[in-house]
Amino acid sequence: MRPDIATHRARRARLLKTMGEGVLILATAPEAIRNRDAHYPYRFDSHFYYLTGFPEPEAVLVLIGARAGKRARQILFCREKNLEREIWDGHRHGPKAARTAFGFDAAYPIGELDKRLPTLLENQPRVCYPFGADAAWDARVMAWINTVRGRARAGVGAPGAITDAHALIDEMRLIKDPHELDLMQHAADISAAGHRAALRVCRPGLGEWQIEAELLRAFRAGGCQAPAYTPIVAGGANACVLHYVSNDRVLADGDLLLIDAGGEYHGYAADITRTFPVNGRFSAAQKDVHEIVLAAQDAAIAATRPGNAWNAPHEAALRVLTQGMIDLKLLAGELDGLLEKEAYKRFYMHRTGHWLGLDVHDAGDYKVAGAWRPLQPGQCLTVEPGFYIRRADDVPPALWDIGIRIEDDVVVTEDGCRVLTEAAPKSVAAIEEAMRDGR
């Protein structure tokens, strides 16, 4: 996909307006060694990519705010062209091509960063930088500032304040623009196709790893560059382990299979969870629990609308789940009292969603000035209630080791929300039909 020059340049211009005077410095992620001389697949820093669309490692964004008599500037530092390295590692834009292709005012070789930055920081009131995120970069930025301080006798002023760049960018990233929503819908559609493929192939005797392989095949075949996170493919009691990723157990007849998996499409994540019977038919107890979780999700989605507090979907889901625990005789007492005591946490211990975007747990605070943030059109989040019943003496055997989570990705709209991942079957009838058709 070609970089969306106008969109990324406009984001930088908007950030410059918010920032005012000063210099913003933002590096992309470094390459990471897997072992010896083998690297992990490269993945850029999300904040950097949001502002630049530039996918290569060893790159730094510098934004210089407008001030009296001087216009704002957008500068990229990146690797130089190197035809020999490109034979081994692939294409490099180089500064000259990158400046044009990604809409910068100037671009320089990354090797000139230490020479040019002190000059760019001269007489600037502040530095915007993600301080504390990387000790080596903290030291490097302070070295540039100290170099400027060393010129004080020549009348040169050094920045007197440091602002957290991530905090400024996080607020921007909370509201998705049309370009982002299009990418997220693609990620959702491809990921839903992966979940449908898993439904079709699942049967007793297969390994969790074989279902994982089918998911990854579908994600890559659909155009995703990578999974957005390590897939959870959890059969039987493994579904009651929230972050189970071993995916090495053979699936047994009568078990449920919980799959939490999504693809990443040009940086943007999908995050879907579905739970279904390995043999294609829910038992009565499994169906009962699944219907409770689905009703909780329906209530949470209905509460996902502009003006409601971030916590409203969670509170709506809790009421349905806790009542379900009472109905199944897992909890005893009045609903409001059990909610106040958080008695539900034995069977439901996580929250009902998180922000979603370039990161699967995306940027943005959930509270502002101590209060839950109001939902706004353009915000993207997951809605993912669950119900986890471990084997115990005070639990009816028919409910033992039932772990169910249902998760969808939604975008807040002007009058409610839109589910991006609705193409992945989730009702009992739709799941059993899809599994029956796949056999």
| Selected catalytic residue, list 407, 408, 409, 432 | 407
Q: Is 388 a catalytic residue?
A: yes
| Selected catalytic residue, list 405, 408, 409, 432 | 405
Q: DSSP readout, 273-320?
A: EEEEETTS---HHHHHHHHHHHHHHHHHHHT-STTSBTTHHHHHHHHH
| Selected catalytic residue, list 180, 212, 264, 271 | 271
Q: Is 179 a catalytic residue?
A: no
Q: Is 361 a catalytic residue?
A: yes
Q: How many CB atoms lie within 10 A of CB 284?
A: 7
Q: Is 91 a catalytic residue?
A: no
| Selected catalytic residue, list 116, 151, 203, 350 | 350
Q: Is 384 a catalytic residue?
A: yes
Q: Is 365 a catalytic residue?
A: no
The CA-based diameter of the chain, rounded to the nearest angstrom, is 82
| Selected catalytic residue, list 14, 71, 85, 361 | 361
Q: Is 243 a catalytic residue?
A: yes
Distance CA 212, CA 260 (A): 10
Distance CA 372, CA 309 (A): 6
Strands 272-277 and 256-261: antiparallel
Number of residues that this document lists for the chain: 439
Report how far apart, in Å, the C-alpha atoms of 408 and of each of 182, 212, 353, 397, 401 are: 17, 19, 9, 30, 23
Q: Is 114 a catalytic residue?
A: no
| CB proximity list for 243: less than 8 A, separation 6 or greater | 232
Q: Is 407 a catalytic residue?
A: yes
Q: Which two tokens stand for residue 148?
A: 């400027």
Q: Is 271 a catalytic residue?
A: yes
| Selected catalytic residue, list 45, 260, 264, 432 | 260
| Selected catalytic residue, list 186, 388, 408, 432 | 388
Q: Is 350 a catalytic residue?
A: yes
| Selected catalytic residue, list 2, 91, 153, 243 | 243
Closest by CA position to 377, among listed 411, 410, 422:
411
Read off the amino acid at residue 419: V
Q: How many CB atoms lie within 10 A of CB 86?
A: 12
Query: Which value, in Å, is the radius of gyration of the alpha carbons in the chain?
Result: 25
Which positions are catalytic? 37, 243, 260, 271, 350, 354, 361, 384, 388, 405, 407
